[in-house]
Amino acid sequence: MSTNNLIDLLQAYQGFYPDESRTVTRYLEFVSNHPDCFERTQLKGHVTGSAWLVNTTGTHVLLTHHRKLNKWLQLGGHADGNSNVLEVALMEAREESGIDQIQSLGTQLFDIDIHEIPARKNDPAHLHYDARFALQVTGNNTFTLSDESNALEWVEIPQLSKYTSETSMLRMADKWSHQNS
């Protein structure tokens, strides 16, 4: 598997969001130095793919109340060897929401984040290098709860701060609002 596509996406992202250069640089260093970055077996951290999944009108984002982390987050998960992070984000959005009719709103990264995942059972604390894409439901907005979530909820984007104070989540809401105003 190749890191080249992800490196290209990160370099393009840095051009769009130069104020996030420190995070992009850390992400690029990790991916460049760890060819196994798409595997969970890379214990320092690994790449994940996430979805800023909006409803058909683009007014609400689907959040999961994550069972293991016990907080409201965007949908997403591990790459598990897949270096096509957009494909990972689409797959995770479909699996975690039960919604099949989802399209990508572009091939560029919508957001990136590096965050620590606490130690749990046999897994040490590690970092998730999250590649996030803007996706939209193209059919019915009805979701199905998966076993990974305590709850799923369509949240009106201006009301996101009532569910989370996570900086990266609020940053995505701000990006979405600016792109769609």
Report pLDDT digits (tens) over 55-76: 999 999 999 998 888 899 999 9
Q: What is the pLDDT of residue 45?
A: 96
Residue type, 14: Q
Tokens coding 102: 């989802």
Q: What is the pLDDT of residue 149?
A: 85
Average pLDDT, the chain: 95
Give, for 174, the enclosing helix (H) or strand (E). helix 167-179
The pTM assigned to this predicted structure is 0.95
Q: What is the pLDDT of residue 1?
A: 52
* Structural domains in the chain, sorted by start: 4-179 (3.90.79.10)
181 residues of the chain, pLDDT tens digit each = 579 999 999 999 999 999 999 999 999 999 999 999 999 999 999 999 999 999 999 999 999 998 888 899 999 999 999 999 999 999 999 999 999 999 999 999 999 999 999 998 888 999 999 999 999 999 999 999 888 888 999 999 999 999 999 999 999 999 999 998 7
- The residues that bridge with 126 in the sheet, in sequence order, are 117
Residue type, 96: E
Cα separation, 55 vs 120, whole angstroms: 33
Q: What is the pLDDT of residue 4?
A: 93
Q: What is the pLDDT of residue 145?
A: 85
Q: What is the pLDDT of residue 14?
A: 97
Per DSSP, the three-state class of 102 is strand
DSSP character string of 13-40: HHHH-GGGHHHHHHHHHHHHH-TTTTST
